[in-house]
Amino acid sequence: MHFKLRKNVERLLGKTRCLQSPTACCNERANSVRSGASQTPSPLGQLTGDSQHSMAVDTYICFPSHKIDHVLAPLTRFRANAQHVHGDLAVEYYRQRSSEPGTLLISEGAFIAGKAGGFPHVPGVWTDEQIIAWKKVTDAVHEQRSFLYAQLWALGRTADPSVLEKDGYEYVGASDIPVTDKPKPRPLTTCGYAELLAAMSKPLTLNPPTEIQEYVQLYAQAAVNAVQKAGFDGVEIHAANGYLITQFIHDSINNRTDEYGGSIENRARFALEVLDACVKAVGASKVGIRISPWEAYNESHIDNTIPQYTYLVNRIRELHPDIAYLHVTEPRVVSLESRDPNDESNDFIRKIWSPLPLISAGGYTRDIAIEVADTKGDIIAFGRPFIPNPDLPRRLRENIALTPYDRSTFYTPETAKGYTDYPFAS
Ligand SMILES: Cc1cc2nc3c(=O)[nH]c(=O)nc-3n(C[C@H](O)[C@H](O)[C@H](O)COP(=O)(O)O)c2cc1C
């Protein structure tokens, strides 16, 4: 391989490593942020300017106990059973994709509770059976010396109301703005004093007025279940793509007039509370968060991307600079589709977040990934290319041709076809 290209790939894949212990790196990183050091954008490798600190690499995540080379983006595949429990298929799927030691796999979205779901065949992380099933998956990944984060998911208004109804749950959202062809969701309630009084005077069939706080706690409990019981290395809060947390953040779909709506600060509140609760539950170094600042997927258009996300990311950085990572989706992709990003860019987030670990996903080819890792210092996550290429890290490193993906098998419930039957490169 051409020397420069090879050097870039090695940087992309994090081959140049920190010479300090990972824990020391992370502590130093968090301390430098807390003390306000190194506020200008810089590669992770120039975190402190300390000559003894040999971090000449700009693409890796430094967790307290491990280092990361490659990242699988979260991918829902509908292979769990009707009880939202994974079987052997998922063990094999994640085993295959962790074959290169040092890979960080971010799991498909996993429901934090039955009431937060509303799609069939998506795994959950709230029952004992689900947790035991995930433990087999995390064991398989750890046997390969790779790492697995659980993506914590609540659907809100994007749920299928008929699925919720069948399971005995209500159709709820951040507010009552409906998605096309779906009924109006019931807005989650708060524990405001006035609402508490109003709710108390109504029939007992009403949900408790502390609903939003209950959801915050469901995220925290799911984080505990994932990390302390199912053996995940951490959790990623799914605050992207128009699902429940985005429904609070994005102005076009949040018409609340209480402390969770009406201003940039209020719309960010739920996301920050969830993050805070998860950090308290399992520790900052085991929590990441995914956002999609430009994405209008699930009719989640936002008019004020830059002010809203500038506030949110600044607050995350102030409150929890030592979380595992911030994960952003790129404006050139909306969910699974390419789109023209015009002049939209996540660079304003990079400016705020640097030099902390930033994962970027969406529409990366090998060449773009090398360029962005090289010039911006991002850690690159791959979604669709990882589906038909279980050995993607090796293929990227050795520039082996990629097998094309087949969309028709993305979401086929409980079948191995298009899931675990893709070959490794010879
Ligand atoms: C089949 C499929 C399922 C997905 N499921 C999730 C998911 O559960 N959670 C999530 O945050 N993003 C999900 N995404 C979005 C991906 O994580 C990723 O951002 C997107 O595919 C763009 O990256 P890519 O161009 O590398 O595929 C999904 C994408 C695909 C193709």
pLDDT digit string (tens) for 231-275? 999 999 999 999 999 999 999 999 999 999 999 999 999 999 999
Instruction: With a cut of 50, say whether residue 98 has pLDDT above it.
Output: yes
- H-helix or E-strand spanning residue 200: helix 193-200
- H-helix or E-strand spanning residue 151: strand 147-153
Cα 193 to averaged position of ligand 1 atoms, centre (Å): 40
How far apart (Å, rounded) are the C-alpha atoms in residues 217 and 252? 26
pLDDT at 66: 46
Cα 381 to averaged position of ligand 1 atoms, centre (Å): 10
- Give the count of alpha carbons within 13 A of 324, CB side only: 30
Nearest Cα neighbor of 173 from 234, 89, 53, 260 is 260
Annotated catalytic residue, options 243, 311, 325, 364: 243
pLDDT at 325: 96
Choices 3.20.20.70, 3.30.360.10, 3.40.630.30, 3.40.50.12170: CATH for 3-409: 3.20.20.70
How far apart (Å, rounded) are the C-alpha atoms in residues 231 and 146? 12
Q: Is 73 in the pocket of ligand 1 (CB under 6 A)?
A: yes
Q: Which residues touch 168 (CB under 8 Å, ≥6 apart)?
A: none
Instruction: With a cut of 90, say whether residue 208 has pLDDT above it.
Output: no
pLDDT at 13: 38
The SS3 of residue 148 is strand
Instruction: With a cut of 50, say whether residue 34 has pLDDT above it.
Output: no
pLDDT at 65: 42
- H-helix or E-strand spanning residue 73: none
pLDDT at 43: 22
Residue whose CA lies nearest to ligand 1 atom number 11: 74
Return the C-alpha torsion angle 47, 53, 57, 58, nearest 10: -10
pLDDT at 210: 81
How far apart (Å, rounded) are the C-alpha atoms in residues 16 and 276? 33
The question of whether 243 is a catalytic residue gets the answer yes
The stretch 389-396 carries a mean pLDDT of: 96
pLDDT-derived band at 140, boundaries 50, 70, 90: very high
How far apart (Å, rounded) are the C-alpha atoms in residues 327 and 320? 14
pLDDT at 334: 74
pLDDT digit string (tens) for 64-81? 344 455 899 999 999 999
pTM for this entry: 0.86
Instruction: With a cut of 60, say whether residue 217 has pLDDT above it.
Output: yes
The best mutation among 336, 382, 396 to test binding of ligand 1, ranked by most ligand atoms within 8 Å of the C-beta, falls on: 336
Return the C-alpha torsion angle 267, 268, 270, 275, nearest 10: 170
Ranges assigned E (strand) in 208-347: 234-239, 287-291, 325-329, 333-334, 337-338
For 288, which DSSP code?
A: E
Q: Is 241 in the pocket of ligand 1 (CB under 6 A)?
A: yes
Q: What is the number of the ligand 1 atom nearest to the C-alpha of 329?
A: 19
Cα 75 to averaged position of ligand 1 atoms, centre (Å): 5
Identify whether the C-beta of residue 105 lies closer than 8 Å to the C-beta of residue 147.
Answer: yes
Bridge partners for 348 per DSSP: none
The best mutation among 335, 338, 408 to test binding of ligand 1, ranked by most ligand atoms within 8 Å of the C-beta, falls on: 335
Q: Is 244 in the pocket of ligand 1 (CB under 6 A)?
A: no
Q: Is 383 in the pocket of ligand 1 (CB under 6 A)?
A: yes
Return the C-alpha torsion angle 15, 20, 23, 29, nearest 10: -90
Instruction: With a cut of 90, say whether residue 132 has pLDDT above it.
Output: yes
Q: Is 75 in the pocket of ligand 1 (CB under 6 A)?
A: yes
Exposed (0-12), middle (13-18) or buried (19+): which is 377, by Cβ within 10 Å? buried
- H-helix or E-strand spanning residue 150: strand 147-153
Cα 384 to averaged position of ligand 1 atoms, centre (Å): 7
Identify whether the C-beta of residue 379 lies closer than 8 Å to the C-beta of residue 326.
Answer: no
How far apart (Å, rounded) are the C-alpha atoms in residues 390 and 405? 11
Identify whether the C-beta of residue 385 lies closer than 8 Å to the C-beta of residue 392.
Answer: yes
Residue 285 Cα distances to 51, 139, 159, 171, 215, angstroms: 25, 20, 30, 33, 22
Phi, psi of 56 (to 5 degrees): -85, 25
Question: Where do the structural domains in the chain lie, given as residue ranges?
Answer: 3-409
pLDDT winner (highest mean) among 61-65, 92-96, 374-378: 92-96
Q: Is 290 in the pocket of ligand 1 (CB under 6 A)?
A: yes
How far apart (Å, rounded) are the C-alpha atoms in residues 392 and 403? 10
The best mutation among 76, 97, 107, 153 to test binding of ligand 1, ranked by most ligand atoms within 8 Å of the C-beta, falls on: 76
Cα 244 to averaged position of ligand 1 atoms, centre (Å): 17
Query: Per the omega criterion (within 30 degrees of 0), is the bond before 22 cis?
Result: no
Q: What is the number of the ligand 1 atom nearest to the C-alpha of 151?
A: 9
CA-CA-CA-CA torsion sign (50, 55, 58, 63): negative
Q: Is 63 in the pocket of ligand 1 (CB under 6 A)?
A: no
Cα 333 to averaged position of ligand 1 atoms, centre (Å): 10
Instruction: With a cut of 60, say whether residue 7 has pLDDT above it.
Output: no
- H-helix or E-strand spanning residue 22: helix 22-34
pLDDT at 21: 33
Instruction: With a cut of 90, say whether residue 304 has pLDDT above it.
Output: yes
Q: What is the DSSP string of 78-129?
A: --S-TTS---HHHHHHHHHHT-STTEEEEEEEEESSGGG--STT--BSSSHH
Residue whose CA lies nearest to ligand 1 atom number 15: 335
pLDDT digit string (tens) for 315-358? 999 999 999 999 999 998 876 777 888 889 999 999 999 999 99
How far apart (Å, rounded) are the C-alpha atoms in residues 87 and 106? 18
Exposed (0-12), middle (13-18) or buried (19+): which is 81, by Cβ within 10 Å? middle
Cα 405 to averaged position of ligand 1 atoms, centre (Å): 13
